[in-house]
Amino acid sequence: MKNFVQRAIQKIDQLDTKQIVSIMQSQSRELEMLENVLESIEDGVILTDAKLTINYANSHCPNLIPMARRRSYEGFPLSKVIEDKHVLRYIVLSVYNRAEDLDNEFTFQRGNKVQTVAVTVFTYKMPEEKGLSSYVLMFSDVTEHNANEARMRRSENLASMTTMAAGVAHEIKNPLAAMGIHLQLLKKAFVRQEYLSMHEAQRYIDVLEEEITRLNSIVVDFLFAVRPLDTRLRLGSLCKTLQDVASFVEPELTENRVTLTCNVSTSLPKLEFDENLIKQVLLNLIKNAMNAMEQGGRLTLHARQDGNQVLISVQDTGIGMDDETMQKIFEPYFTSKATGTGLGLTVVYKIMKEHRGDITVESRLGEGSTFTLSFPVPKSERLSLSEPEKESLHET
């Protein structure tokens, strides 16, 4: 339809009145259909020109954000219509690409309830007007969505704590049993001899001290695993974080005869993540991969976009795992190593859930393992994504 109208404009001087009226009626019907579509959705939608003058606003907008009450908003500057200065500031900064570190969700009191609204700004380049852009502003009620996510996290946390509590109970049985046995032995020694020198009692005391230290370690690890994470999500580039981690681990990998390959797409969208926590996740996975390659091997970090997700894979050529081990590795206190708490991957799983993401694993015995982290692409980045560029390969 767009091409038809453009051709008609080019030949306007060759059209008679009847043909022009027909084209205008056709355009009017199409605009009416588009307006009906925009009215049928639950989100608020505002269309503006390059100067943020409103061209269209559907009827849901005033129910989502504070706006001046008018019969029509067409032709009014956005600054004269939106009454909440925080929302207006976020939109203006988004237009100038300066809202990366700002939260796009705003809360408003609606009677006895609090409503949370997510604001998203999309840019549209108009080919017929070089250098100018128009903007699509979307206002989405995410109150129920956020509440459902919070309930799901609480449910997952409760299930996780139940499993971990069972794990703690299992872990503390052995130290307590050892302490009980050596206390009994110490008591019998006193009964036999009525007096023990420090030297004679030392072996019992050493075991008791060792088991007390072990119990303390179990409790400290448990508290770390169940304590709420101080997650601070910020919109940013994950590429730099991957580069920092790769540079940090490269000397240790080299010392252990492991070759690191980074295969990262150059066109990854920005993500909302906590840099410190994600570094902890990557370092944990890389450390596990290195331990699985005692004779050396190859470790590959791979990052790419897959639809509305960004996938980061940590792939090794180590000893691999069987199906039974793969099903248990994220369970608290499960470990295949002689030393270790068995909480490392549990914490990794918890961090990924805090990022509304996930972690999966594929492995074969004798061939290696691949752990894949998936991150959701924020709504603000989805419509502005360009076609992924050719991936660049770097070896360190």
Residues of the chain with pLDDT under 50: 1, 385-396
Burial of 129 (0-12, 13-18, 19+ CB in 10 A): exposed
Check: CATH 1.10.287 for 148-226?
yes
DSSP string, 170-211: HHHHHHHHHHHHHHHHHHHHHHHHS---HHHHHHHHHHHHHH
List the domain boundaries for the chain.
41-141, 148-226, 234-395
Amino acid at 336: S
End-to-end CA distance of the chain: 52
- Cβ(223)–Cβ(260) below 8 Å: no
Q: What does the alpha-carbon distance between residue 261 and residue 85 come to, in Å, rounded to a whole number?
A: 48
Looking at residue 201, what is its pLDDT?
Answer: 85
- Cβ(238)–Cβ(278) below 8 Å: yes
- Cβ(279)–Cβ(244) below 8 Å: yes
Q: What does the alpha-carbon distance between residue 337 and residue 328 come to, in Å, rounded to a whole number?
A: 13
Looking at residue 335, what is its pLDDT?
Answer: 67
Please give the backbone phi and psi of residue 252, each rounded to the nearest 5 degrees, phi first.
Answer: -65, -40
Looking at residue 106, what is its pLDDT?
Answer: 94
- Is the pTM higher than 0.75? The answer reads no
DSSP string, 298-309: EEEEEEEEETTE
| Angstrom distances, CA of residue 280 to CA of 240, 243, 249 | 15, 14, 12
Q: What is the CATH number of domain 234-395?
A: 3.30.565.10
| Angstrom distances, CA of residue 46 to CA of 60, 85, 134 | 10, 17, 11
Q: What does the alpha-carbon distance between residue 57 and residue 94 come to, in Å, rounded to a whole number?
A: 19
In CATH terms, the superfamily for domain 41-141 is PAS domain (3.30.450.20)
| Angstrom distances, CA of residue 240 to CA of 20, 28, 275 | 56, 49, 10
